[in-house]
Amino acid sequence: TSSANNMDFTKCYSPKYFTRFVSKTSIFGKSLAIASTDVIGLSDPGISLKDLDLPLLTDLKIISSFDTRQPEMDILRNWNTPGLRSMTISNFIPPLSQHNASLTWLRISLGRSTNSRARMTTIDVHAFREFLGTCTSLTELHVSLGNIQPATTRRTISRITLPKVEVVSFDILSCIPAVIKVLIEELRFPVASKLDLTFGLSHDHRGHGSLLNSHMRPFFTDEAIFPAVTTLKLHAKCVLTATRFNTGTTPGNISIPFILIGNIRHLTLSIVGLGEIVRANDDVPPLRSLTFEKCDKVDKPWLLDMIEKLEQRRDFGGLEELSIQGCARMEDLKLKCRTIPQG
């Protein structure tokens, strides 16, 4: 399906009509959305989306079917999109293009599916890095990762620097830390100051504390990846897994790996549906602001222990803002030294 000039069109089930429709209407539009369906896929041999001339296009959204892995797909190949600024793509890696350099906002989703039994998707990590390397004007990058594995390749690992990206987010579900590491270890975000991390953790996993640590480690172990990040939003949520039997297990406890985030000065925590938040043995970084959003397991003893750690390192005077929003177990918390806004 496609849309132009923010108008909705009926679904085109004929491949030939689909191609003609996109070619004729999109030349006048500033936004275009294309999605494969159960009836017609973007890799259908009757569809040709090569060599489209879209001089006015500024916003593009392409959603391919979950099992689309054909590298010969024509979509985006040799398109003329000199004004393209924003792009959302799902389950495929776009070809290299000189017009990628005009992008300032990008959302890319790999291996994500509403089907909990969807099979693992293989991605070409080298192609992913090369594509990002052509997006030299990006200021925001948002990546969603699902059940993926890197393709076996002998190509030389290339380091990619994104010199203008200021905001980065990763939403990770069913993707193991080793794959995350392979995907980002050769990426560099020298000026990015804000990082948003979302992790979906399985309900039946008893080692949530170590699991969160292992998922966060690829982002912080090598400081060269995010040397300038000082603002972190950390979301950890419970994800129900498809199991044959209900084992009746309760979520395991979780701890925040402060040892990894020593350079963070502004921290937002959102912990939902998991076990108790246990006190960490790590030193708390010298935070200037601390925000809790919808943390259903964070309680007063945990927060008071955290504040005590700040006082011990004589950095508590630097804490300028403490905000609690939607945290039932801390609704009546009062600190003499701070006025806490309640959400």
At residue 58, the pLDDT reads 93
The tokens for 7 are 């108008």
User: What CA–CA distance (Å, rounded) separates 198 from 172?
Assistant: 6
Q: How confident is the model at residue 1, as a pLDDT?
A: 42
Give the CA angle between residues 197, 202, 207 to the nearest 5°: 90
Q: What is the pLDDT at residue 19?
A: 52
Question: What is the pLDDT at residue 23?
Answer: 55
Residue 165: what pLDDT?
Answer: 98
Dihedral angle computed from the Cα positions of residues 333, 337, 339 and 343, in that order, rounded to the nearest 10 degrees: -40
Give the Cα separation of 273 and 269 in Å (integer): 13
In this prediction the pTM is: 0.83
What's the token pair of residue 11? 């679904």
Q: How far apart are CA 213 and CA 207, in angstroms?
A: 10
> How high is the pLDDT of residue 326?
81
Residues of the chain falling short of pLDDT 70: 1-29, 36-49, 65-74, 113-119, 152-157, 202-209, 240-252, 313-317, 331-343
Q: Which amino acid, one-letter code, is at 281? A: N
Check if the beta carbon of residue 74 is closer than 8 Å to that of residue 49: yes
What is the predicted pLDDT for the residue at 230? 97
Spatial distance between the Cα atoms of 251 and 249, rounded to a whole number of angstroms: 7
136-179, pLDDT tens digit by residue? 999 999 999 988 888 866 566 678 999 999 999 999 987 888 99
- What's residue 156's pLDDT? 60
Task: Give the H/E segment covering residue 23.
Answer: helix 15-25
Closest C-alpha to 172, from 133, 208, 212:
212
